[in-house]
């Protein structure tokens, strides 16, 4: 009836696994309890998944850049906001010792109208095609082709676009569309994937960018990407750059720092990050409440048996052991279906939204430890009911 687990648990605990036997005795309640724990786990996994996807989607555009240092406007919080830099900053940066090269790039956002009338929002970078601004192999290989006016490279992971469109471009058929009054010809693709605001990325030359955004001043890019000379000490160059550029309009970061600052800003200052963090808290609360309900009902249902065991001379720690044994079993057996359902949902969400949602190896470990702590906390609250087991009332 209880399978091979009873002898296993008996050996493990050095006593009858009473908690386990109690749980399997009432199969309906056990099923409800395990679904509750699994549900809480799925909730937590999904929130962590979205939070992770947000963090990852912020990081991805930084990873395609070929550089060591990023100079941004001092008022920029992310890659996609902030004022243009004054024209001189690029040249001042080039004058710092240890800087091998520097190239500006522009950021803008455009609408890409689909045949069905809907719009895809594209984050647009304008780069100098001759300055080797990309480390990503696909982009690096195609960057120079952007010297042709009004050509673009497009993110093939852009959300809600028929896949055969990109297949056609990759096969050599350029795709044309109109935006901001100009016809753009897409001659190649790369892969980043949209985040939580825009649907995908588009890369053009700085000349094309300035034609799309005539109000923007040439020589005043949003960012300057700096590459260090071989053998230069990054810390020293960073300090010299900070000294050379006025902090009132410029901020100097390593690429990793810039990505981390961006992630920090979007997860703590923007509602989207806070919402997911809050969701994790709600998931934990749901789990604690469900497990507490199950354990305290179970204690209440067995109060006579526990009183009998007390009369027989079992000490308090024996009863705590039973409750924590149950808490551990609920945590373990609720976690397994929880993580499996979450994996399925991750795949579904990734396919449906193109968000970089996936299961890092550390997350199940973290969630399982959290589930254990959650169940132990519920168990600890539930054990307060044990005081009601009064053996003197058995007679």
Instruction: Considering the complex, state which of residue 197 and residue 308 has its C-beta at the smaller distance from another protein.
Output: 308
Least distance CB 374 / another protein (angstroms): 25
- For position 302 contacting another protein by CB under 8 A, the verdict is yes
Instruction: Considering the complex, state which of residue 27 and residue 176 has its C-beta at the smaller distance from another protein.
Output: 27
- The tokens describing 288, both together, are 């604690």
Instruction: Give the count of residues interacting with another protein (CB under 8 A).
Output: 24
Instruction: Considering the complex, state which of residue 16 and residue 366 has its C-beta at the smaller distance from another protein.
Output: 16
Are residues 293 and 379 in contact, defined by beta-carbon separation less than 8 angstroms? no
Handedness of CA 219, 220, 225, 226 (dihedral sign): positive
Q: Closest by alpha carbon to 94, among 205, 210, 233, 240?
A: 240
Instruction: Considering the complex, state which of residue 14 and residue 117 has its C-beta at the smaller distance from another protein.
Output: 14
Least distance CB 309 / another protein (angstroms): 7
Instruction: Considering the complex, state which of residue 165 and residue 311 has its C-beta at the smaller distance from another protein.
Output: 311
Least distance CB 266 / another protein (angstroms): 51
Q: Closest by alpha carbon to 192, among 43, 61, 342, 322?
A: 61
- For position 394 contacting another protein by CB under 8 A, the verdict is yes
Residues 113-120: contacts with CB under 8 Å, at least 24 apart = 113/177, 113/178, 113/179, 114/161, 118/160, 120/158, 120/159, 120/160, 120/161, 120/199, 120/200
Per CB under 8 A, which of residues 305..364 are in contact with another protein? 305, 307-315
Per CB under 8 A, which of residues 241..280 are in contact with another protein? none
Are residues 265 and 77 in contact, defined by beta-carbon separation less than 8 angstroms? yes
Write the binding mask 374 to 393 for another protein: x where contact by CB under 8 A, - elsewhere: -----------------xx-
Interface residue with another protein among 16, 236, 281, 300 (CB under 8 A) is 16
Least distance CB 19 / another protein (angstroms): 9
Least distance CB 393 / another protein (angstroms): 9
Least distance CB 33 / another protein (angstroms): 15
Least distance CB 314 / another protein (angstroms): 6
End-to-end CA distance of the chain: 33
The label of the residue with tokens 């588009």 reads 202
For residue 61, how many other CB atoms are within 10 A of its CB? Answer: 22
Measured CA to CA in angstroms, residue 356 lies from 7, 160, 198, 213, 255 at distances of 44, 15, 14, 30, 20
- For position 7 contacting another protein by CB under 8 A, the verdict is no
Output the DSSP codes for 131-192.
Answer: G--B-SHHHHHHGGGGGSTTEEEEETT-TT--HHHHHHHHTT--EEEEETTEEEEEEEEE--
The binding site for another protein (CB under 8 A) comprises 14-16, 18, 21-22, 24-25, 302, 304-305, 307-315, 391-392, 394-395
């Amino acid at each position: 009836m209880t399978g091979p687990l009873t002898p296993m648990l008996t050996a493990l605990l050095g006593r009858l696994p009473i908690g386990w036997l109690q749980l399997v005795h009432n199969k309906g309640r056990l099923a409800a309890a395990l679904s509750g724990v699994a549900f809480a786990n799925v909730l937590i996994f999904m929130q962590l998944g979205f939070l992770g996807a947000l963090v990852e989607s912020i990081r991805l555009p930084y990873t395609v850049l070929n550089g060591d240092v990023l100079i941004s406007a001092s008022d920029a919080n992310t890659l996609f906001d902030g004022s243009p830099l004054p024209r001189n900053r690029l040249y001042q940066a080039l004058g710092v010792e240890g800087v091998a090269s520097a190239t500006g790039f522009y950021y803008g956002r455009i609408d890409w109208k689909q045949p069905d009338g809907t719009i895809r929002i594209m984050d647009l970078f304008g780069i100098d095609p001759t300055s080797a601004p990309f480390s990503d192999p696909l982009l690096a290989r195609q960057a120079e082709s952007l010297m042709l006016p009004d050509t673009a490279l497009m993110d093939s992971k852009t959300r809600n676009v028929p896949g055969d469109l990109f297949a056609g471009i990759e096969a050599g058929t350029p795709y044309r569309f109109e935006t901001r009054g100009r016809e753009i010809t897409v001659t190649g693709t790369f892969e980043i994937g949209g985040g939580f605001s825009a649907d995908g990325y588009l890369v053009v030359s700085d000349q094309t960018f300035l034609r799309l955004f005539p109000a923007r001043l040439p020589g005043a890019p949003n960012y300057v990407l700096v590459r260090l000379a071989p053998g230069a000490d990054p810390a020293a160059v960073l300090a010299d750059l900070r000294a050379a550029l006025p902090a009132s309009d410029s901020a100097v970061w390593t690429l990793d720092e810039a990505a981390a600052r961006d992630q920090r800003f979007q997860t703590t200052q923007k509602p989207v990050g806070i919402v997911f963090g809050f969701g994790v808290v709600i998931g934990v609360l749901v789990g604690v409440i469900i497990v507490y309900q199950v354990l305290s009902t179970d204690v209440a249902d067995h109060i006579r048996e526990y009183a009998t065991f007390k009369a027989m001379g079992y000490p308090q720690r024996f009863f705590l052991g039973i409750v924590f044994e149950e808490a551990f079993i609920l945590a373990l057996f609720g976690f397994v279906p929880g993580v499996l359902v979450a994996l399925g949902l991750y795949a579904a969400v990734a396919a449906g939204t193109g968000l970089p949602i996936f299961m890092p190896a550390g997350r199940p470990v973290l969630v399982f430890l959290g589930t254990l702590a959650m169940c132990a906390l519920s168990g600890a609250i539930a054990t307060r009911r044990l005081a009601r087991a009064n053996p003197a009332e058995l007679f």
